[in-house]
Structure 1
Amino acid sequence: MDSSRNSITRTVVDDNTDEDAYIEKEQTRGELGHRMAEDEVQAPTGPRKFQHGFWDSEVAHLRKIYFKIMGMTIVLLVVAMWLFFSIYWGSLGETAQHVPNLNGYVINRDGSAGEGLLGQAIVAAFEANSRGEGVPEKQHLTWTVVDSSYLPSNEDVAYAVVEEEVWAAVVVNSDATSLLTSARSSGNSSYGPRNAVTFYYNQGRNEIAANSFIVPYTTALLQSTLSAFNAKTNSQYFAALANSADEARQEAMVAISQAPQTVSQPFAYAAMNLRPYTKTASQAVLLVGQIYIIILSFIITMTHDFARGIISPFLRFNSYARMRLLVPLVIYIPLSFSYAMVNLPFKITFDAKYTYAGGFFLFWVFVYMGMAALGLATEAMITLLTPRFIAYFLIALIISNVSVASVPIVLQPSFYQYGYGFPVFNLAEAVRTIIFNTKNHLGLNAGV
């Protein structure tokens, strides 16, 4: 009985306790909610996403930061333009003033001792041209008259041009004057005026120098010299005929009818392009494609910088250093091979010097080395400049390399001689050797 009464009493007490606790809890919650509501009313209102115009006062502090970032970027870009763009403009701006740095040979084989009239006229004209006579200032090559014994055959002359001893050579061929005299007297219909003079040049060495200066300047000089000499020799020939006997004149007219080229154009020249610039697509791998190589390696640098930030805090220094160096070098292998493969459908002449397969794989090796040299440069500089400013180094890297790869360094101010030690110049020179069979500098190019 007592136990039942006690049980009932405890139940009533527990119920009352629960009710009091519930009431107290609700009161506390109400007070807290009221306090939070007051705080919300009193708290300052900040900018809300997607709720403001650009000029709203609520985003004034953010607008100030925005203008500061954009303003500093404009300032840095303007500075970069004046520092780096002027380098590229300067590499092209004075090329015409350095044309005399392009040298050439004149070889006179006309007569046993070079006493032929045509040979003497050509030598005199080229010596005068080399001194700048009769042409605008510095609009001429520098010609050196060399003895025919120095280069005994025309094959030797061609070899000297291909091996970059000179940029061009003009040869007055053996007995040119006496061959014309003989053809006129005998009526030799097989006489070829173009056999008198041969002009050798190497377009594959640099197509801009060849097309803009070497070929036009040399052909203009040859045409004017030969035109004047042809007029002179014809006038002398017909003057001699006028004073000869009727029978001699009649025989001469018969001979002229059989070989009219002996008077219509007694002497002419033949141009020999020893290493033609055969494929327009070659421009892609010689210059523009190398800009793409820099961009590809830069993308790897930026991606690697982001990716290694995830794991680098947990690595020892030696492990971190190996990752920084080896990972890009491994990534460049498939990238450079893919770049080389892109050229195959466009028939780049990889077989100009070696077999097609050998030339292709050698090209790939040099592309890989170029990508490694350029890519590791950005890998190093991103540590110093951080990703925020590495783009400005990219501008400098591209312009400083491209400036010395488009025209010969000898046609640029002496400042640009730094190009001999830069990757793009050496990669372009190696590619020319592979696809045009120009002089072999591959060992030097690979070393740089």
Structure 2
Amino acid sequence: MDNGTIAARRVWLKISLVAVGLLIFIIFAILSIYWAALGRSSGNIHNLSGYVVDFDGEQIGQTVTQAFSNLHGNKQLSWLVKNASEFPNGPPDVQAALVDHRCWVAVTVNPGATSNLIAAINKTDATYNTSQAISAYLTDARNEAAYRIIITPMVNAILTNITQTLGLAFAGELASNPNLPNLMHTAPSLVTLSVNYAVYDLRPFDVPVASAVDYVGLIYLMILANHLLVANAQSGLARRLTLTSLIVVRLLWPFTLYFFISLMYCLLSLAFGVPFSRYYGGAGFLIYWMMSWMAMAALHVSSQSMITLLTLKFVPVFLVLWIIVNVSVAYYPIEVLPIIFRYGYAMPFYNVSNTVRTVVFNTKNQIGLNFGVQFAWIAVSCITLPIFQWLVRRREVQAWHQSQVKEGE
């Protein structure tokens, strides 16, 4: 074996070992961020609040409020028993508070719940709907994962337990009622299930394909936004332009390209049935298109700044980090994640997701804030990229001068 082959093998082995070390670093230092976002959420459920409002004021209302008042712990929602006087228009005001994101779930004991039940028993009213007593209100589209995995099962379990307790209490009272045989024959539900509840989803997540644009598709948005990074870096154009021209190209060219790419991306979602016009008419699609455009620009220009410093050799590490820190805050509510994940409110993914939910599901409108975050990322990159590019160009010029000196010697 000749010396050249031996030397080549040494270089190959060195590169392989460095690559393995870098991958191990990515696994434990970067991927662990996403694992932590999913694995540490159960201990912070108490950061999600729920309202309990008693509009009844009698036996059913008192039992329900007392039961929720006894629920505590980090793995339990923080139940806030609200005075009915805070909601002068009754349950509709509670629903409005939920839609306004003042809480994550609301439970109301409806007006006259106890008296209506007693009246139905006295009249042997077979038409009485026992689920009118208690109502639970959700907004699933606010974060479908949180409701599916955490909130909805918890609310159902609590209310099932409460209604069973109330049912036993009323059944015990009915045991001595001489009208019991007639009740069992005519209106058995008044005896066997005298108190029940109904769940109302005010903002249902009823468009499954929307997952492609409010969570999973955000990863593709990132990939599309950074697809041109390597191509631009490998073009060799950087060394043929003046510093000013190079900065202008790196800042303005992506905005032009992603104006059209983002349109194609949005049209794909429209073609597969995402109803952007449900609540904002034709403006809904335009809002989503502009948000996708700004998000692509924010993601790309930020990466553009970093590739200037890190070069192609290390930019993959940054891109993995950039994806992970964005994805980690887009699945569960930030409130249930460890406190370090509060950075998520300022992440492009989180704000794109919020805009999608507002446009498609009519959740709380914070579109102005969502656009503001994207503009902030673009503005920061417009400051940092010229600085980084100037530093790199200065380093390249110094290296060139040194090489000229050596050639002259």
Given the alignment of the two structures, is residue 291 of structure 1 paired with residue 219 of structure 2, yes or no? yes
Q: Note the alpha carbon deviations across 1:238-293, whole angstroms, 9 max, x for none.
A: 12x2xxxxxxx3x5543553322211211100001111111222111112211111
State which drifts further: 187-196 or 393-402: 187-196
Unmatched 5+ stretches in structure 2: 374-409
Specify the SS of the correspondent of 1:149: helix
Runs of 5+ consecutive residues of structure 1 not aligned to the other structure? 1-54, 133-137, 242-248
The structural deviation recorded for 1:139 is 2.8
Letter in 1 for 2:87: L
Equivalence for 1:6: none
Q: Given the alignment of the two structures, is residue 353 of structure 1 paired with residue 287 of structure 2, yes or no?
A: no
Partner of 1:225: 162
Q: Which amino acid aligns with 2:61?
A: G
* Cα distance between partner residues in 1 of 2:240 and 2:122: 95
1:286-309: CA deviations, max 9, x gaps? 1221111111121111112223x2
1:88 corresponds to: 34
Q: CA deviation at 1:315?
A: 2.8
Question: Aligned pair in 2 of structure 1 residues 217, 56: CA closer, same or farther (>3 Å)?
Answer: farther
Counterpart for residue 183 of structure 1: 120
Distance in 1 (CA, whole Å) between partners of 2:180 and 2:256 is 78
Query: SS where residue 194 of structure 2 aligns?
Result: coil
Paired AA for residue 16 in structure 2: M
Deviation at 1:316, TM superposition (A): 2.8
> Which residue of structure 2 aligns with residue 429 of structure 1?
354
Q: Contact 1:184 / 1:256 at 8 angstroms: preserved in 2?
A: no
Which of the numbers 383, 386, 392 marks the counterpart of 2:308? Answer: 383
Range with bigger deviation, 196-205 or 316-325? 316-325
1:17-68: CA deviations, max 9, x gaps? xxxxxxxxxxxxxxxxxxxxxxxxxxxxxxxxxxxxxx77651111111111
The residue aligned with 1:142 is 78
Q: Indicate conservation of the 8 Å contact 1:349/1:436, yes or no.
A: no
* Shift, 1:370, TM fit: 0.7
Partner of 2:331: helix, strand, or coil? coil
Q: Give the one of 44, 50, 59 matched to 2:5.
A: 59
**AA matched with 1:380:** S
Equivalent-residue separation in structure 2 for 1:118 and 1:339 (angstroms): 52
After TM superposition, give the deviation of residue 227 of structure 1 in Å. 0.5
Question: 2:140 and 2:11 mapped to 1: Cα distance?
Answer: 55
1:169 pairs with 93, 106, 110, which one? 106
Check if 1:151 corresponds to 2:87: yes
**Residues 202-247 of structure 1, C-alpha deviations (whole Å, 9 max, x = no match):** 11111111111111111101101110110111111112x2xxxxxx
Taking structure 2 as the reference length, the TM-score comes to 0.88
| Cα distance in 2, alignment partners of residues 205 and 340 from structure 1 | 21
Among all aligned residue pairs of Structure 1 and Structure 2, give the percentage whose two residues are the same amino acid. 35
- Judge conservation of contact 2:54–2:110 (CA < 8 Å) in 1: yes
- Letter in structure 2 aligned against 1:73: A
- Whether 1:313 aligns to 2:239 is yes
Which consecutive aligned stretches of 4+ in structure 1 deviate over 6 angstroms post-superposition?
none
Higher-Rg member (1/2): 1
Distance 2:124 2:277 in 1: 46
Aligned to 1:280: 208
Q: Does 1:238 align with 2:154?
A: no
Length, aligned pairs only: 372
| Partner amino acid, structure 1, of 2:259 | I
CA contact (8 A) 1:197 1:269 kept: yes
Whole-angstrom CA distance in 2 between matches of 1:254 and 1:76 = 77
Q: Matches of 1:84 and 1:426 in 2, distance apart?
A: 22
Alpha-carbon distance change, 296 to 416 in structure 1, aligned in 2, over 3 angstroms: same
